[in-house]
Amino acid sequence: MTEKGTIDAPAPREPSAADRQAAEKAKAATTVVGEGWTSVLVTRVPDDAATGQLGGVLAGLPTVSGGWGSGKLFTGNAFSAVLTDDGRVAVGAVPPQLLYDALAK
């Protein structure tokens, strides 16, 4: 016989001042372009993200460019994303052209 029990979730921790400051900075750097199914979220990634764990993944993605700059394109069945060389990221459940248009704004 196996006895089933519950597992207590860890108590949430209070965010530090640095955590709150980072969250506010990320919020200020984030915009949404479009509405509904054509919405594209545009934000910035931390400076070290592209050189860290993402570096190897990004190397295998196609390079794209336009009036907005250049970057790496990731497309899937449900969404597309572009990580630009200047550290912006645009993502949405949209075709790549809408990402490029959002980055150009």
Closest by CA to 85, choosing from 61, 98, 96, is: 61
What was the pLDDT predicted at 50? 59
Q: How far is the C-alpha of 63 from the C-alpha of 22, rounded, in Å?
A: 29
pTM more than 0.85? no
Other beta carbons within 10 Å of 105: 10
In this prediction, residue 49 carries a pLDDT of 63
| Residue 74 β-bridge partners | 81
Structure confidence at residue 4 (pLDDT): 74
Nearest in space to 45 (alpha carbons), one of 35, 37, 55: 55
pLDDT of 32-76, one tens digit each? Answer: 999 999 999 999 987 766 556 677 788 889 999 999 999 999 999
Q: Determine contact, residues 92/80, Cβ cutoff 8 Å.
A: yes
